[in-house]
């Protein structure tokens, strides 16, 4: 059985392309930002506490701990308490708003921000 240089070259080329794709993908995965953890209960006053409602008049509460970013499914913020966290929220209109730790912010009906994201700094 003779050695086939063309077949070996083809296998080497395929292996190189696959290895290159893996090398390109690894930094992209490693560069992702951490997300703030949504916690199951809101009993700790140090958590970020978001009181919200949806376009369909569903009301709820969500709490977050630890540094990082969270995408939020376009809810209206009725009130945010920051706990011991400095936060930044991203509004549907594209603005970014910072709120310092130990603040309790609420909005009048019709003036609530429409949230897309929340970051604990």
Does one domain contain both 24 and 74?
no
User: Mean of the pLDDT values across residues 23-40?
Assistant: 52
Per the structure, how many domains does the chain have? 2
Higher per-residue confidence, 75 vs 38:
75
Q: Taking all residues of the chain, what is their mean pLDDT, rounded to a whole number?
A: 79
pTM over 0.75: no
pLDDT score recorded for residue 59: 94
Q: How many CA atoms lie within 13 A of 112 on its CB side?
A: 19
pLDDT band at 8 (very low <50, low <70, confident <90, very high): low
Strand 59-65 to 48-53 pairing: antiparallel
For residues 23 and 68, membership in a common domain is answered with: no
> 1 pLDDT band (50/70/90 cuts)?
low
Mark whether 55 and 107 lie in a shared domain: yes
Q: Indicate if 82 and 110 belong to the same structural domain.
A: yes
- Which phi and psi angles does 43 have, rounded to 5°? -80, -25
**Residue 35 scores a pLDDT above 90:** no
């Amino acid at each position: 059985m003779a050695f086939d240089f063309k077949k070996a070259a083809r296998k080497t080329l395929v292996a190189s392309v696959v290895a290159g794709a893996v090398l390109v993908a690894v930094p992209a995965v490693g560069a992702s930002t951490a997300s703030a953890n949504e916690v199951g209960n809101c009993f700790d006053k140090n958590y970020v506490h978001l009181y919200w409602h949806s376009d369909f008049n569903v009301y709820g509460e969500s709490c977050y701990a630890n540094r990082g970013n969270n995408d939020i499914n376009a809810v209206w913020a009725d009130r945010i308490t920051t706990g011991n966290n400095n936060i930044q929220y991203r509004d549907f209109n594209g603005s970014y708003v910072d709120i310092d730790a130990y603040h309790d912010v609420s909005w009048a009906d019709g003036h609530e921000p429409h949230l897309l994201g929340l970051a604990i700094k």
